[in-house]
Amino acid sequence: MSIKVRYFASLKESLGCDGVELSGAESLTVQQVWSQATGQITLPDNILVAVNMAYVDQTAEITDGDEVAFFPPVTGG
């Protein structure tokens, strides 16, 4: 199982990198991906999550090859 984790904007700055590759045997939830990738136990409420560029909630299941992105509230327009 290989998962590409990406961070954007202020989250990228505060974590000090733009992402990480996770590999392992088990199936993971978004929450677990966050913990493994960042070492933080809880995914903050205001952080948005996208899997393969579509929004998901924090309980979504991640499968092999997925790209999981974490980012702060969007501020375009």
Q: In the chain, where does DSSP find H-type helix?
A: 9-15, 30-38
CA dist list (Å): 14 to 11, 17, 19, 72: 5, 8, 12, 11
User: Which residue number, 10 or 27, has a Cβ lying nearer to other proteins?
Assistant: 10
Residues 23-42 touching other proteins, rule: CB under 8 A, are none
**Pairing mode, strands 2-7 and 54-56:** unpaired
Task: Work out whether 8 is an interface residue with other proteins (CB under 8 A).
Answer: yes
Of 3, 30, 49, 69, the one binding other proteins by CB under 8 A: 69
Which chain residues interact with other proteins by CB under 8 A?
Answer: 6, 8-10, 13, 50, 53-55, 69, 71-77
